[in-house]
Amino acid sequence: MKIDYHMHTYLSDGRDTHEQMIASASYRGIEEMGFSDHVSIKPARWAIPIENIDEMVRRVQTAQAENAHGLIIKFGVEMDYIPGMEKQIQELIAKLPVDYVIGSVHFMDDWNFDTDVIEYDNIDINRFYRQYFKLVQQSAASKLFDIIGHCDLAKKFAYYPSFSLNDLYEKTAQIFKKANVAVELNTSGRIKPCNEFYPSVPFLERLAYHKVPITLGSDAHIEQNVGQFFDDALTMLKALGFKEIARFTKRQREMVKI
Ligand SMILES: [Zn+2]
Ligand SMILES: [Zn+2]
């Protein structure tokens, strides 16, 4: 089943409307899709302003009611994980009629390492990777989220540590399993400097070994990118031994054949 659970509209940092994203998904053979605009407790320019959250809910519900292309449409959000703000995050999630919540780490303290590329030249990259994985592990252990987003985003701009990441992959996979979270295969890394999906193949191998459930997400910010590289992604998952992917309804997980 082709399911795309990660995309952004004009309400956060995407460009297009819900209707445009749905039409594109339909054209690309997506059977089930979910909107996941950015929501952040910490003010961030790419996130939906808190006062627009009601509009986000209305837009998704309208799209579901119109059912223009016969797709199954889910309501998700991509929520920033900010350590120490778990309670506020939980309260915000509780107010939303979500089918699933993607928990993502984009911030390291006040640095948004997802967009502010200039900083990479000023930091200790080995230390950055260790801190990054620690935050991802914490985000899973917090149990706030259904899906962990792009779980090796540290590689986005192709800065790599001098040590092997295998131990961190293994430890992180164990923590995901213990926390009973799903992890997304996010195909957008293919169009970033790192030029590969998140997470990378050796990390996916550890997730397969520990039987961590996988979701699929394009992280599209424009309608042309909905479902991007999904044929490759599904081929890769099958080659790694995955036979099912996860879908969510009102935060209940169910596995479906790929
Ligand atoms: Zn993200
Ligand atoms: Zn995203």
Show me where the domains of the chain are located: 3-257
Alpha carbons 223 and 21: distance in angstroms, whole number = 5
pLDDT of 38 reads: 96
pTM greater than 0.95 (yes/no): yes
Q: The domain 3-257: what is its CATH number?
A: 3.20.20.140
Q: How many CA atoms lie within 13 A of 22 on its CB side?
A: 19
- Quote the tokens at residue 70: 């016969």
**Quick one: which ligand is closest to 219's CA?**
2
The per-residue pLDDT for range 161-175, each reduced to its tens digit, is 999 999 999 999 999
Residues 6+ apart with CB under 8 A from 168: 129, 130, 133
pLDDT of 215 reads: 98
How far, in whole angstroms, is CA 117 from its chain's centroid? 20
Sign of the dihedral defined by the CA atoms of residues 143, 148, 149, 152, in that order: positive
37 contacts 105 by C-beta, under 8 angstroms: no
Place of tokens 């309804």: 249
**Quick one: which ligand is closest to 77's CA?**
2
For ligand 1, the distance from its centroid to the CA atom of residue 7, given in whole angstroms, is 9
The per-residue pLDDT for range 184-232, each reduced to its tens digit, is 999 999 999 999 999 999 999 999 999 999 999 999 999 999 999 999 9
For ligand 1, the distance from its centroid to the CA atom of residue 150, given in whole angstroms, is 7
**Quick one: which ligand is closest to 34's CA?**
2
Q: Classify residue 136 by its DSSP letter.
A: H
The per-residue pLDDT for range 39-85, each reduced to its tens digit, is 999 888 889 988 899 999 999 999 999 988 999 999 999 999 999 99
